[in-house]
Amino acid sequence: MNAVVIGCGRVGSAVAQQLADEGWQVTAVDESEEALARLGAGWKGGFVVGHAMESEILVRAGIESADAAVVATSGDNTNIVVGQVIQKRYGITCVVVRVLDPRRAEFYAKRGLRTVCPTQTAISYLLDAVRACDIPSPPSSEPVQA
């Protein structure tokens, strides 16, 4: 199965490597050539330098025969637009898009885009962590009359 991973930063490169380890044919796309180094010396997949708003770059990355796409550049709006273009122009149903802003992630999720919001995840984890704290109850005292 073929996957295209757009944005090869900390998140994108790790997703690309993991998918490759699981047997996917992966092509990563990044604006910066230096991002290739993040994929490690033994990277067997493809790598395309360029901006994913350019159709030619998507095509060179093999979007036309992709089964899945992960869009995780540093720009929320770029991810949202590129994700929708991949979904609508190339008919790929498995398009996963990183959106840091929870409101935008929710808005586009309702409209059929598979968004993943790390900020929302962090909020939930932080809240759970606080709730799980073992806080000693304060010494009981008589309520103060106002």
Q: Which phi and psi angles does 86 have, rounded to 5°?
A: -65, -40
CB-nearer residue toward other proteins: 25 or 74 = 74
Closer CB to other proteins, residue 40 or residue 112? Answer: 112
Single out the segment in contact with other proteins by CB under 8 A; choices: 7-15, 25-33, 41-49, 53-61.
53-61
> Which region among 12-20, 69-77, 115-123, 129-137 touches other proteins (by CB under 8 A)?
69-77
- If one counts every other C-beta atom within 10 angstroms of the C-beta of residue 83, the result is 26
Q: Is 78 in the site for other proteins (CB under 8 A)?
A: yes
The stretch near other proteins (CB under 8 A) out of 20-28, 78-86, 116-124, 134-142 is 78-86
- Restricting to residues 82-111, name those near other proteins by CB under 8 A: 84-85, 88-89, 101, 103-104, 107, 111
